[in-house]
Amino acid sequence: MTDNILRQATQAEVDALNAGRTFAGQTRTTVFGSNPNAKAYFVGFEGTRNNQNDPSKGPITNVAVLTNQANKAFEQSGGQAEYYPGPGTQGALQFLDLGFGSTIPFAARAATDGFQLWAQKQFESNPNTEINLAGASFSRGTITHTVFLNTAYSEGVGKRGTEFFGNPSEPTQITGYSAYWI
């Protein structure tokens, strides 16, 4: 293969290229698994009437499969995966919940609380922890998932009384998020 130079770059093009290189050098992009301080947290939010813990609710769903696979993968890495049954699986409240999704804010709050406690433990054991958050959801579980994300982002993971975990100027400390709505 021969190199054919069609034209020489203008000074503006060279400056733009160098500016991009400088920006890329200043931007920290971590490929998950390449940072020894990285930990992953996975959340799975089921759709209406789906609950892997109750076989009468039907076959296991993709959300449950992904959450279970994440848990298995995290056995070695110290990550965490949590599964939340869908609206309409709460016993006596199920019919009200089926119509109005009344348990959605409570499930999102429970998920946020669990994530924050886990994150604080990670920061206590290693202040340089990098948290990678991922999740999957289906149907009305996507609403719960969205409420969880908004709450976790707005509250951050590091505030508990007067103590801070992680970077006090950036209490959210979530480096990346991947969501899969199935």
Q: How many CB atoms lie within 10 A of CB 106?
A: 13
Instruction: Determine the Cα–Cα distance for residues 86 and 47; give it in Å rounded to an integer.
Output: 5
Q: Which residues pair with 177 in a beta bridge?
A: 133
Q: Considering only CA atoms, which of 64, 105, 62 is closest in space to residue 83?
A: 64
pLDDT for the residue 6: 66
Inform me whether the pLDDT recorded for 168 exceeds 70: no
pLDDT for the residue 166: 46
- Is 53 exposed, middle or buried (CB count within 10 Å of its CB: 0-12, 13-18, 19+)? exposed
**Top-confidence residue, 32 or 86:** 86
List, for residues 19-57, the tens digit of each pLDDT value.
766 655 554 444 455 677 888 899 999 887 788 888 787
Instruction: Determine the Cα–Cα distance for residues 101 and 86; give it in Å rounded to an integer.
Output: 9
pTM of the model: 0.69
User: Beta 163-164 vs 174-181: how paired, if at all?
Assistant: unpaired
pLDDT for the residue 162: 34
Instruction: Determine the Cα–Cα distance for residues 145 and 140; give it in Å rounded to an integer.
Output: 9
Average pLDDT rounded to a whole number, residues 125-139: 85
Instruction: Determine the Cα–Cα distance for residues 11 and 16; give it in Å rounded to an integer.
Output: 9
Instruction: Determine the Cα–Cα distance for residues 115 and 98; give it in Å rounded to an integer.
Output: 26
